[in-house]
Amino acid sequence: MSNIVEAKSLRKNYGNFTALDGVDLTIPRGAICGLIGPNGAGKTTTLKALIGLCDVEGELSVAGRDPRIARHKLMEDVCFIADVGILPKWLKVSHVIDYVEAVHPRFDRKKAEKFLSTTDIPANKRIKNLSKGMVTQLHLALVMAIEVQLLVLDEPTLGLDIIYRKEFYDRLLNDFYDGNRTIIISTHQVEEIETLLSHLVFINKGKIVLDSSMSDLPDIYTEVLVDADKVAQADAVGPIYVRELLGKKSYTFEAVPREQLEVLGELHTPSVADLFVAKLKEEKHG
């Protein structure tokens, strides 16, 4: 499978603050990739770099183009939804559809209108008068009506209630994703997207700390609920993270064969959230 995103040694500074510090990233076509990181980790800068909205140093190719020199051409193949606030508030719903129809060669108006007919969004309302959930639905309707290779989502459900959030991801999977298109999602709500993902990237302090397919994770990471009498033995194996859980100790190991760990206690594959915490703590403590 070819890669839709290939980035090497991406660097970006804002004054003295280093937003990206040598980011290497490879995302295969057809993946649903989660880009996870704490606040200020470099998620938004990475996503903006991918679609040519911020200038970075390093090698970068998205859908076969360099976003820094061909952003507008690239955007024929890529869609972007950022935080819910970015649709211009002064426009009416019908005006937004008119605009996208006018400027995007791959926009299917009927598709967008069909999607909107399943919502409560009136065509003659201004965006400033819509709820946050409606604005997101509208943006999703626009995006789903565009035939693109890559969809980039930066905290797309921020500030939405659980119903809108769930509906957003259901629609994304059922109506947009077809196995060939690629989706990159950056979010804090890791648990909500964990089951959707086929690829996982963690970023912290401008550096990629994990870049793996979800199917490879069980082979690399193992969580062990260690029996009390095996704690010293587990410590000796060299966990990347240890935490207290229901009076027991939970150890997270990286690249340690399962057979070696079976003797220590009950084995699990860590959840994305647990793995995220483990990798960040590992970074912090070295």
Per CB under 8 A, residues contacting other proteins are 48, 51-55, 71-76, 79-83, 85-91, 95, 98-105
- Tally of residues, the chain: 286
**Looking at beta carbons only, is 153 or 240 nearer to other proteins?**
153
DSSP single-letter state for residue 184: E
**Looking at beta carbons only, is 86 or 273 nearer to other proteins?**
86
- Max distance between CA atoms of the chain, in angstroms, equals 69
Interior/surface letters 86-121, b for 16+ CB within 10 angstroms, e for the rest:
ebeeeebbeebbeebeeebeebeeebbeebbeeeeb
**Looking at beta carbons only, is 17 or 90 nearer to other proteins?**
90
**Looking at beta carbons only, is 139 or 230 nearer to other proteins?**
139
Least Å distance between CB 140 and other proteins? Answer: 13
CA distances from 256 to 79, 93, 200, 274 (A): 39, 54, 20, 17
Least Å distance between CB 96 and other proteins? Answer: 9
How many C-beta atoms lie closer than 10 Å to residue 39's C-beta?
7
Least Å distance between CB 92 and other proteins? Answer: 9
How many C-beta atoms lie closer than 10 Å to residue 10's C-beta?
24
Task: With CA atoms as reference, report the closest residue to 51 among 165, 184, 144.
Answer: 184
**Looking at beta carbons only, is 95 or 111 nearer to other proteins?**
95
119-122's contacts with Cβ under 8 Å and 24+ in sequence apart are 121/93, 122/93
Least Å distance between CB 45 and other proteins? Answer: 9
**Looking at beta carbons only, is 96 or 234 nearer to other proteins?**
96
Contact 156, 136 (CB under 8 A): yes
Least Å distance between CB 56 and other proteins? Answer: 10
Least Å distance between CB 87 and other proteins? Answer: 6
How many C-beta atoms lie closer than 10 Å to residue 166's C-beta?
13
Contact 175, 116 (CB under 8 A): no
**Looking at beta carbons only, is 84 or 261 nearer to other proteins?**
84
Least Å distance between CB 104 and other proteins? Answer: 6
Tokens read off for 220: 């690399």
DSSP single-letter state for residue 93: H
